[in-house]
Structure 1
Amino acid sequence: MDQHRPDPARDDAFDRLRDADPAAGLEPDTASLDAAVRERADRPAGDELARARAARRPGRWGAVAAVAAGTLLVGSVGGYALGSREGTGTGSRTAAAAITLSDATTGAAAGAAESSAAGDTAARSSVPDAPAAEGGTAMSSRLLPWFGGHTVFTAQGLSDDTGTAQAWAYDPAQAFSAETAAQVAASLGLAGEPRLEGGIWLVGPQDGVDASLQLQPDGVTSVSYYDPSLDPFACPPSLAVPESGVEGQDGGGQGEPGKDAVVPPDCTPRELPPAPQGDAAVARAREVLAAAGVDADRYEYEAAESGTPELAYVSAFEVVDGQRTGTIWSVSLVGDAVQSLYGALAPLVPLGDYDVVSENEAVARLSDPRFGASGGGVVAASVGGVAVDSDGAATTEPAPAPMGEPTPPPSVTPGSPLGWPVVEVVLTGARLGLAQHTLPTGATVLLPAYELSADDGTAWSVVAVADGELDFAAGR
């Protein structure tokens, strides 16, 4: 079960946040996430040597990969007409938003996120007003009915009709191979033969200095590529050299034998060619995906501002039957070249029709511990006075009142009623679609799911597959 608050009115100022939900792990704004990582990594230290060390990026490419990989497969949508939509422009969106199931296995649906420890739960906080990991920015929730309280769901005006709906699975067996790794590497101009190490197909050195590619053995065959030489923000790693080869303060180079000195890297900004922007960036990203063996027509494209003319970001969202699946490709361009690429290569295969419960039964499932008590996301997160919901809807919130000195809670009066807060939610709308889910085997599927909404715009999601078609014993 998951809950989010969709946007009742679009706001152009927050178009790039439409697909971001730091609470429930829906489709994030990859450009903003990457820019935030870069900005934090580039904060100056106290002196020249400290700044040089802080600017080192030997492991930075992995952090950026984790951000992009973590956005790869978080969330999903419903319906099917594979690749029937194609976006245009820098912010085209014709497909419906993804449906997300925030259960224990959905976070693992992002195979790449698993490998980078960047699953959907990493961005969620279950405690109100929890501080952010960096910068001191508070991320708070307006409502957490599962935190110190209980929620009662009531259906109003919904249907009792059952039915069937198609389910789909990603088939990594068709994509995880040396041939696939070689094809993607060749399309990116990366030399080298694929080699299998630790169950992962690798091309190029994995040192964060030279261009490299990884093909993961997860449920969606995640692929990641990064070229530090085209990263406007990257610095080469520091070098350790013998003290005897480093000039001392007196210029005599008389270091203590047997010890190494750290030579800070040269972090002078490099001259890089301008990248295509807007429609031109989208067109280039389509070419990149097609060359990598991806059906580029299956995706809806959005280009985002990078803040620098040398770099362009494009996100490609897989679409089925007019809805996004939650599978996302992220392409970063420098000049006409690819600086980084992240995505999923496993094709979708049909699983046939599955029985689905009625809308009223779906509401009842929200109170069923088998479906509704497996976790959840923050209803609406607030960052810097701007509330962001699951569809990226952003509204300005009033500044919080200043907090006084902490005091002990009041004493409990003998015989007084004991607090047991209950939130009552009346659900009046339902949308049947698909949600991404990872089976106990690690396979990733798109299964029928409902998005249930209340008149105030709050929405909850729950699996729609009938009990008889679910294996409750799996994983015991």
Structure 2
Amino acid sequence: MNDDEQRDPIERLRAADPAAGLEPRDGFADEVVARAATDTSTTGVATATDLGTERARRRPGWLQVAAVAASLVVVGAAGYGIGSATGSSTTVADGAAPPISLQSGADAGVGEQGMVEPSTGDLKTFGTGASGLISPSGGGRNQFSASGLSTSEGTAVAYGFDARAASVADTIAALAAALGVEGTPELAYGSWTVGPQDGTGPAVGVSLDGTLGFWYSDPRVNPWHCVKVDEPCEPTGTPPDEDAAIDALRSLLASTGRDPAGYEFTSETWEGAVTRSAQAWPVVDGQRIDQAWSVELSNDGMFTASGALAELVPLGDYPVVSEQEAFERLSDPRFGAQVTTWPIALRDAPVSTTDEWVPPTEPPAAPTSGAAVSWPVNDVEIVEARLGLASQWQPDGSVLVVPAYEFTDADGGTWSVIAVAESKLDFAVG
């Protein structure tokens, strides 16, 4: 790997920012935040159960969180004192089915001559021989085939994130205490905040979105935080081990009143890295949900964390279409088949780092009379179907977790479509 490829992805992203170094005009940030916080609520697509009872039932648990917040104690060198509330779940994600997403993996960036590999962020490029693969993401140019799919319809439970129930000062204060952030929660400009917001110390922010998503950062132990902004940081050392990262995340979950046994854990780092990340995937009905908690550690401690503070609540049974009808949705432009895992041929394609672009010396020749119009179509053979759950963001910002199908093709790629019957879908433009 060259030096650029070994850099932290966040550092690379910042380096590519065309606005780096620019200062906004006075009041610009406040205006943007105020617009983002504007209420755009509309009627949801499904009749949800009244959440009042659920909120009343769960809220006392949050009021007791302060009693266990001290179970997450940074003791140095990425070591964590883990209290008895951390649970006894395994640290390896090997039991639940993988999450299903209704967001296309192609949204990560398919270009005219390349794509971004979702799992690594690396750009993979292809020659003209792979031109039929430059748009594999659904919505046309794909011809699907399958056999033996079930025609049986049914029902499945849907869920929703109850963000409003958790959006109280006690919840935010308990999270801040678990992370060692001092201060009183303040609600302004569409988010809760605790701690300094100028990058001078550990801080927490909680967005008023449909999952009540939070972020935490501690610049004191961030190896890429430069004391002098005009000088590059060159972090050294080795990343913490997998157990340290996962144990830190398990402790954080327990310290915020959650049972780590209800999550599956993964951890990863990369060659040349000095940090390690860990993810906690909530497991519902035997499947991971695509809203994970995440932390990143250096050997000095945890310097970032994020997750969804809102709890999932059941919304009752929804009618579900059959495998065959869901398969037919792959070719229906109303549903827009989403490729969520690239086929093996694309995932294993080598990264083009040696082939140099040769500038042309003349334009292409003029098309000849009667030339065929190039319109590449990918043949996609579906070989397996799985019914699971996927997040769906509503026009008003709330988040449902609804039945969805994941189809696996003969090349190992996966495609997803919503499984909810049309009687429970609102096709009106939000």
Q: Cα 1:301–1:126, aligned 2, differ >3 Å: closer, same or farther?
A: same
1:268 and 1:412 map into 2 onto residues whose CA distance is 53
Verify the 8 A CA contact 2:88 2:260 in the aligned structure 1: no
Q: Which one-letter code corresponds to 1:200 in the other structure?
A: S
Aligned position for 2:33: none
Is 1:422 the counterpart of 2:377? The answer is yes
Shift of 1:199: 1.7
User: Alignment partner of 1:186: what SS?
Assistant: helix
Find 1:181's aligned residue among 172, 186, 194: 172
Find 2:210's aligned residue among 219, 224, 227: 219
1:316 and 1:33 map into 2 onto residues whose CA distance is 25
1:40 and 1:145 map into 2 onto residues whose CA distance is 26
Verify the 8 A CA contact 1:289 1:296 in the aligned structure 2: yes
Aligned position for 1:140: 125
Verify the 8 A CA contact 1:88 1:301 in the aligned structure 2: yes
Aligned position for 1:260: none
Q: How does 1:448-463 map to 2 (within 5 A)?
A: 448-463=403-418
Verify the 8 A CA contact 1:99 1:434 in the aligned structure 2: yes
2:235 and 2:148 map into 1 onto residues whose CA distance is 61
Q: Which one-letter code corresponds to 1:423 in the other structure?
A: N
1:310 and 1:138 map into 2 onto residues whose CA distance is 22
Q: How does 1:124-273 map to 2 (within 5 A)?
A: 124-129=109-114, 138-140=123-125, 143=133, 144-145=135-136, 150-236=141-227
2:226 and 2:216 map into 1 onto residues whose CA distance is 18
Q: Which one-letter code corresponds to 1:139 in the other structure?
A: K
Aligned position for 1:301: 265
Q: Which one-letter code corresponds to 1:168 in the other structure?
A: Y
Find 1:88's aligned residue among 83, 91, 101: 91
User: Alignment partner of 2:290: what SS?
Assistant: strand
Q: Which one-letter code corresponds to 1:166 in the other structure?
A: V
Q: Which one-letter code corresponds to 2:387 in the other structure?
A: L
Aligned position for 2:10: 37
Deviations 1:22-48 (A, max 9, x none): xxxxxxxxxx999333477699xxxxx
Q: Which one-letter code corresponds to 2:297 in the other structure?
A: L
Is 1:98 the counterpart of 2:99? The answer is yes
Shift of 1:194: 0.8
Shift of 1:155: 2.5
Is 1:328 the counterpart of 2:281? The answer is no
Shift of 1:445: 1.2
2:295 and 2:418 map into 1 onto residues whose CA distance is 32
2:100 and 2:88 map into 1 onto residues whose CA distance is 18
1:121 and 1:419 map into 2 onto residues whose CA distance is 22
Q: Which one-letter code corresponds to 1:369 in the other structure?
A: P
Shift of 1:304: 2.9
2:116 and 2:292 map into 1 onto residues whose CA distance is 28
Shift of 1:277: 2.5
Shift of 1:336: 7.7
User: Alignment partner of 1:223: what SS?
Assistant: strand
1:349 and 1:434 map into 2 onto residues whose CA distance is 14
User: Alignment partner of 1:363: what SS?
Assistant: helix
Q: Cα 1:184–1:149, aligned 2, differ >3 Å: closer, same or farther?
A: closer
Verify the 8 A CA contact 1:125 1:378 in the aligned structure 2: no
User: Alignment partner of 2:294: what SS?
Assistant: strand
Q: Cα 1:121–1:215, aligned 2, differ >3 Å: closer, same or farther?
A: farther
Q: Which one-letter code corresponds to 2:315 in the other structure?
A: L
1:137 and 1:297 map into 2 onto residues whose CA distance is 33
User: Alignment partner of 1:209: what SS?
Assistant: coil
Verify the 8 A CA contact 1:85 1:300 in the aligned structure 2: no
Shift of 1:449: 0.9
User: Alignment partner of 2:170: what SS?
Assistant: helix
Q: Normalising to structure 1: TM-score of the pair?
A: 0.63
Aligned position for 1:440: 395
Q: Which one-letter code corresponds to 2:160 in the other structure?
A: A
Shift of 1:172: 0.2
Q: How does 1:39-58 map to 2 (within 5 A)?
A: none
Deviations 1:195-232 (A, max 9, x none): 11202111011111211110110111111111111122
Verify the 8 A CA contact 1:304 1:313 in the aligned structure 2: yes
Q: Which one-letter code corresponds to 1:366 in the other structure?
A: L
Could you tell me which runs of 5 or more consecutive residues in structure 1 were left unpaired when the two chains were aligned. 1-31, 44-52, 55-83, 104-119, 239-263, 389-393
Could you tell me which runs of 5 or more consecutive residues in structure 2 were left unpaired when the two chains were aligned. 22-86
Q: Normalising to structure 2: TM-score of the pair?
A: 0.69
Q: Cα 1:470–1:345, aligned 2, differ >3 Å: closer, same or farther?
A: same
Verify the 8 A CA contact 2:335 2:418 in the aligned structure 1: yes
Verify the 8 A CA contact 1:87 1:299 in the aligned structure 2: no
Aligned position for 2:31: none
Shift of 1:158: 1.0
2:166 and 2:193 map into 1 onto residues whose CA distance is 14
Aligned position for 1:287: 251
Q: How does 1:382-401 map to 2 (within 5 A)?
A: 388=347, 394=348, 396=350
Q: Cα 1:162–1:266, aligned 2, differ >3 Å: closer, same or farther?
A: closer
Is 1:350 the counterpart of 2:314? The answer is yes
Number of aligned residue pairs: give it: 348
Q: Cα 1:372–1:179, aligned 2, differ >3 Å: closer, same or farther?
A: same
Q: Cα 1:267–1:396, aligned 2, differ >3 Å: closer, same or farther?
A: closer
Q: Cα 1:379–1:396, aligned 2, differ >3 Å: closer, same or farther?
A: same
User: Alignment partner of 2:291: what SS?
Assistant: strand
Q: Which one-letter code corresponds to 2:94 in the other structure?
A: R
Q: Cα 1:330–1:166, aligned 2, differ >3 Å: closer, same or farther?
A: same
Q: Which one-letter code corresponds to 2:147 in the other structure?
A: Q
Deviations 1:56-109 (A, max 9, x none): xxxxxxxxxxxxxxxxxxxxxxxxxxxx994425xx433222212137xxxxxx
Q: Percent identity?
A: 38
Verify the 8 A CA contact 1:427 1:455 in the aligned structure 2: yes
